[in-house]
Amino acid sequence: MEVLGFLRLEAGGTVVTLTLFVALLALLKWYSTSAFSRLEKLGIRHPKPSPFVGNLMFFCQGFWESQLELRERYGPLCGYYLGRRMYIVISEPAMIKQVLVENFTNFSNRMASGLEPKPVADSILFLRDKRWEEVRGALMSAFSPEKLNEMTPLISQACEHLLSHLKLYAASRDTFDIQRCYCCYTTNVVASVAFGTQVDSQNTPEDPFVQHCRQFFALRIPRPLLALILSFPSIMVPLARILPNKNRDELNGFFNKLIRNVIALRDQQAAEERRRDFLQMVLDARHSTSSVGVEDFDMVKEALSSSECPVNPPQRGQPASMPEPLTTDEIVGQAFLFLIAGQEIITNTLSFITYLLATHPDCQERLLEEVDLFVEKHPAPGYCSLQEGLPYLDMVIAETLRMYPPAFRFTREAAQDCEVLGQYIPAGAVLEVAVGALHHDPEHWPHPETFDPERFTAEARLQRGPFTYLPFGAGPRSCLGVRLGLMVVKLTLLQVLHKFRFEASSETQVPLQLESKSALSPKNGVYIKIVSR
Ligand code: HEM
C-alpha cells in the first residue's frame, strides 16, 4: 500500500512538473512573439521578426545598409523590432518636419536604452523634458560665436601636432591610414577643450587619458547578452544596471576624478587665470542667467542657411537663473558629451572629406586655391572669418555630410497618442529619422552616389525642398555642437590643406567600405598618400 501511495505521489509530481513545463513553454512561445503585432495594427510595413530578438538579424550587415534596404523595400514610412521594442522609421520630409518641429512638444525626448553609463546618462543627449530644457537653455551660451572664438587657439594648438605627424608621412611618401591620425588628433582636441588637459595621443598612447578614451569606445555589450537584454528588457535592463561591471565603473571613476580635480583647481583660480575651454564655458553656465527659450534652441537652421557670422540669440523676457544649477555629475556629463557626440563624428567627417578629395582631384584643386587665398588674408582666422570666407570648403563639407552623414539615425519618443499626417502614433512609440535613406533618395538628390559639391551652391540650396538634408538633425533638439563641430572641421582642413594635398594610391579602397554599428565610419580606415605643397 505504502509503495503504491509513493508511486502515485511520484506520478502526481511528474504530471505537475510536466504541466508546469508545458505551461512555461507555451508562455515563452507567446512572449517570444506577443510584441510583434503592433506595427501591423498601425498599418506600418516591416520585415518579418524572429521570436524574441525581432529583426536583430536584419541588421547584422550594419545599420546603414539595412536602413537603405528598409526604405527601398517598405517605403519612407516603415518599421522594425529590436527585441520587443518597436521602431517607426521615417524618411519622408513632410513627416520629419511634423515630428521634429511642428509637434515638438510631443516629441521632445530622444529614446534612451536605460543602459547608458552614468556620465553619458547625465549628458544633455539623454536628459528629458523640463530638465533637458533648462540645461539646453543654459548650455546655449557655451556655443556662442564669442565662446567659440575663445576656443580657436586651443584647436589650432592641437592641429600643430597633427601637422607635424603628417609631415613625416609626406616625407616618407608612403600610403598610410589618415583616419588613425585624425582619431589621435580629435582625442587631443577633446582632452584640451572638454577636459582641460593636454595630451599627445600619437606620441604617448600610454597616457591614461588616451587609454581610457580608447577603452570607452571599445565598450561593447557582448552579442549573447545583447540578445538577452533585447528579449527580456524589463528584467535584464535593471539587472545590467545594478550588476557590478569593473570596466565601466573604472572608466566612470577615471573621468569623474579628472573633471572634479579640474573643477576644484578652477574654483581656486582668479577668473582671468582660467583656461578658456569648453569645460570653463560649461562651468560658467552652471548658474546661468539665460532666458533663451525653446523657440531659440535651433542652431542648425542658422548654421546651415547663412554664411554670415551669427549674432547671439535675443534674450526674451527677464533673464532667469536655472531653478537647479548644474550638479557636478551633470557637468561631468556635459564634458563627456564632447567625447560621445563630437570626437568620433569629427574624426569620421574629416576622414570622409579626405577620401573624397583624394579621389576627386579637380575639387581638391579648386579648394586649394580658395584655401591659399584665405590664409593670405587671415593668417590666424577666428570663428567669424571661418564662417564667412570659405564658400567652396562649406560646399565640400556639406556634400560629404550628405553622402556620409556620421549621425545617420536619431530618435524621438512620442509622449502621448497622436496623429502625424494621418498616421496614428501611440504614446511611447519610438520614431527613428532615417537620415541615410533621406540623403540617398534620388527624388531629392539625383544620382545620390555621385560626389557633387555643386548641390550646395547658394542657389541650389534655395531651390531644394525643406527637411531633405539633416546631418545635424533639425528643430529645438537638433545638434547643439553644430557650430563647434563645423569650426573644428574647417580649421583643421584649412591648416592641413595649406601645407599638403591628398593623393589616392593603389591601396586606397574605392568605393569606401563603411561600418555602422554606431556612427557611420570608414570600415577599414582611409589609406592615402600626402604630398607637401
Ligand atoms: C560634424 C560634427 C557633428 C555632427 C554631424 C553632429 C550631428 C548630430 C546629430 C544628427 C544630432 C541629433 C540631432 C537630433 O536629434 O535632431 C546631434 C545631437 C547633438 N550633438 Fe552633434 N554633431 C556633431 C558635432 C557635435 C559636437 C562637436 C558637439 C559638442 C560638443 C555636439 C553636441 C551635440 C549635442 C549636445 C546633441 C544633442 C542635443 C540635445 O539633445 O539637445 N555635436 N548631433
State which of 133, 479, 521 you would mutate to test the pocket of ligand 1, scoring each by most atoms of that ligand within 8 A of its C-beta.
479
Cα separation, 258 vs 303, whole angstroms: 33
Atom 11 in ligand 1: which residue has the minimum CA distance?
479
Percent of the chain with pLDDT over 90: 61
Work out the burial of residue 301: count CB atoms within 10 Å of its CB; fewer than 13 is exposed, 13-18 middle, 19 or more buried. middle
> Is the predicted pLDDT of residue 324 greater than 90, yes or no?
no
> Is the predicted pLDDT of residue 105 greater than 50, yes or no?
yes
Of the pLDDT bands very low, low, confident and very high (cuts 50, 70, 90), residue 14 is: confident
Cα separation, 145 vs 80, whole angstroms: 41
3-state secondary structure of 109: strand
CATH placement of domain 123-400+470-532: 1.10.630.10
Asked if 304 and 472 count as a contact pair (C-beta separation under 8 A), the reply is yes
Cα separation, 500 vs 516, whole angstroms: 30
Atom 29 in ligand 1: which residue has the minimum CA distance?
481
Atom 8 in ligand 1: which residue has the minimum CA distance?
472
Cα separation, 264 vs 259, whole angstroms: 9
Of the pLDDT bands very low, low, confident and very high (cuts 50, 70, 90), residue 373 is: very high
User: Lowest-pLDDT range, 102-111, 285-294, 307-316, 323-332?
Assistant: 307-316
According to the model, what pLDDT value does residue 220 have? 75
Of the pLDDT bands very low, low, confident and very high (cuts 50, 70, 90), residue 228 is: confident
Cα separation, 313 vs 258, whole angstroms: 33
Amino acid making up residue 221: I
**Residue 479 marked ligand-binding:** yes
Of the pLDDT bands very low, low, confident and very high (cuts 50, 70, 90), residue 290 is: low
Of the pLDDT bands very low, low, confident and very high (cuts 50, 70, 90), residue 158 is: very high
Tell me which H or E stretch contains 43.
none
According to the model, what pLDDT value does residue 255 have? 87
pLDDT tens readout for residues 392-421? 999 999 999 999 999 999 999 999 999 999
- Distance from Cα 199 to the centre of ligand 1, integer Å: 24
Ligand 1 atom closest to Cα of 484? 27
3-state secondary structure of 433: strand
- Distance from Cα 481 to the centre of ligand 1, integer Å: 5
- Distance from Cα 503 to the centre of ligand 1, integer Å: 30
According to the model, what pLDDT value does residue 92 have? 97
Atom 19 in ligand 1: which residue has the minimum CA distance?
479
CATH placement of domain 34-121+408-439: 3.30.43.20
User: Lowest-pLDDT range, 61-75, 288-302, 373-387, 518-532?
Assistant: 288-302
Neighbours of 5 (CB within 10 A): 9
b or e along 51-90 (b: 16 or more beta carbons within 10 Å of the residue's beta carbon)? ebbbbbebbeeebbebbbebbeebebbbbbbbbbbbbbbb
241 or 184, which is more confident: 184
Ligand 1 atom closest to Cα of 476? 41
Of the pLDDT bands very low, low, confident and very high (cuts 50, 70, 90), residue 321 is: low
pLDDT tens readout for residues 447-483? 999 999 999 999 999 999 999 999 999 999 999 999 9
Ligand 1 atom closest to Cα of 486? 1
pLDDT tens readout for residues 474-531? 999 999 999 999 999 999 999 999 999 999 999 999 999 999 988 999 999 999 999 9
State which of 472, 487, 488 you would mutate to test the pocket of ligand 1, scoring each by most atoms of that ligand within 8 A of its C-beta.
472
According to the model, what pLDDT value does residue 319 have? 47
> Is the predicted pLDDT of residue 316 greater than 60, yes or no?
no
Q: Using alpha carbons, list the distances in angstroms from residue 474 to 142, 304, 338.
A: 19, 11, 19
Atom 9 in ligand 1: which residue has the minimum CA distance?
472
Among 445, 333, 354, 336, residue whose Cα is nearest residue 397: 354
Chain-centroid distance of CA 376 in Å reads 35
Q: What is the mean pLDDT of residues 6-22?
A: 79
Average pLDDT for the chain: 90
Asked if 206 and 363 count as a contact pair (C-beta separation under 8 A), the reply is no
Domain residue extents for the chain: 34-121+408-439, 123-400+470-532
Beta strands in 368-425 (DSSP E): 409-413, 418-420, 423-425
Q: Grid coordinates representing 281?
A: 564655458
pLDDT tens readout for residues 424-445? 999 999 999 999 999 999 999 9
Ligand 1 atom closest to Cα of 477? 41
Strand-strand pairing, 430-434 and 409-413: antiparallel
Phi and psi at 199, nearest 5°, equal -135, 160
- Distance from Cα 87 to the centre of ligand 1, integer Å: 21
Among 445, 53, 84, 443, residue whose Cα is nearest residue 224: 53
Asked if 100 and 477 count as a contact pair (C-beta separation under 8 A), the reply is yes
Ligand 1 atom closest to Cα of 401? 5
- Distance from Cα 361 to the centre of ligand 1, integer Å: 30
Atom 41 in ligand 1: which residue has the minimum CA distance?
477
- Distance from Cα 479 to the centre of ligand 1, integer Å: 3
Atom 18 in ligand 1: which residue has the minimum CA distance?
479
pTM above 0.85, yes or no: yes
The binding-site residues of ligand 1, defined as CB within 6 angstroms of any ligand atom, are: 124-125, 136, 337-338, 341-342, 345-346, 349, 406-407, 410, 471-474, 477-481, 484-485, 489
